[in-house]
Amino acid sequence: MIRFHQVNKHYGHFHVLKDINLTVHSGEVVVVIGPSGSGKSTLVRCINRLEAITDGELIVDGIRLNDKKTDINQIRRNIGMVFQHFNLYPHMSVLKNITLAPIKVANMSEKEARETAMLYLDKVGISGKADAYPWQLSGGQQQRVAIARGLAMKPKIMLFDEPTSALDPETIGEVLDVMKTLALEGMTMVVVTHEMGFAREVADRVVFMDQGRIVEDAVPAEFFAEPKQERAQLFLSRVL
Ligand code: ADP
Ligand code: MG
């Protein structure tokens, strides 16, 4: 579903991604961890072309992203993204937040978009909040709306960039539960998170980044038992 082959990216003179090789198969959940500034967000943002790669090859759902002929909007339609800070439209109701893209981008009828939205709101456990505004919701509820919004486009891939980092501790679990359900249903997911419990329990693979490189890519049991790289060992000793 996603394949990075010898991908490099620069921000001006800064070499942010170095020789990235990474494959994510359909239905796989890959958790990306690593210190702040190691390039995790950049890696994830390349997948839906919020960032362009400098060289190498990045193929998503069979489409080569660094090809000039590639229709970026078509790729983005198949990828949902959830950010740390929810990024809901503050002046729109929950329902409107979710139906906007399906109506405007996917040409869904208003009725169908509404029905789809209600379905996903129910799935994330907040169908009672359809008419509320984001400011009336807790952080955990807002993040679940953001997930429902991503799902409403029926994506093949969901990307999460520290989805629980801005949440109160007591609402982190409700968001992780929704993500876990998605994973069990077979969604292809790339998740940047510091929640090691989630990584251990839900991930098919854990990727550890340091200074723009993937220095470890292993199944969780192996990674947590005995990370091969010293940097990963040090990181784990700090977060666990
Ligand atoms: P992480 O998500 O692991 O914290 P990022 O991918 O956000 O790392 O950033 C990696 C590095 O790239 C950091 O040093 C950051 O300052 C730098 N960086 C991120 N975005 C930009 C940008 N738009 N322009 C220049 N440098 C950037
Ligand atoms: Mg980041």
Question: pLDDT of 218-240, one tens digit each?
Answer: 999 999 998 888 889 899 888 87
Tell me the mean pLDDT in the region 95-124.
96
Atom of ligand 1 minimally distant from the CA of 34 = 3
Ligand 1 midpoint to CA 158 (Å): 21
Tell me the mean pLDDT in the region 6-34.
98
Ligand 1 midpoint to CA 83 (Å): 15
Atom of ligand 1 minimally distant from the CA of 11 = 25
Phi/psi at 57 (5° precision): -135, 135
Q: Please report the pLDDT score of residue 178 as a whole number.
A: 97
pLDDT digits (tens, 9 = 90+) for 128-156: 999 999 999 999 999 999 999 999 999 99
- The whole-angstrom separation of Cα 68 and Cα 169 is 44
Best of 42, 51, 210, 239 for a ligand 1 pocket test (most atoms within 8 Å of beta carbon): 42
pTM listed for this prediction: 0.96
Tell me the mean pLDDT in the region 30-57.
96
Whose CA is closest to atom 16 on ligand 1?
37
Average pLDDT, rounded, for the chain = 95
Q: Please report the pLDDT score of residue 62 as a whole number.
A: 92
**8 sits in which H/E element:** strand 2-11
- The partner residues of 189 in beta bridges, in order of sequence, read 29, 158
Best of 15, 16, 45, 215 for a ligand 1 pocket test (most atoms within 8 Å of beta carbon): 16
Ligand 1 midpoint to CA 119 (Å): 36
Q: What SS3 state is found at 91? A: coil
Confidence check: pLDDT of 54 > 90: yes
ipTM higher than the 0.95 cut: yes
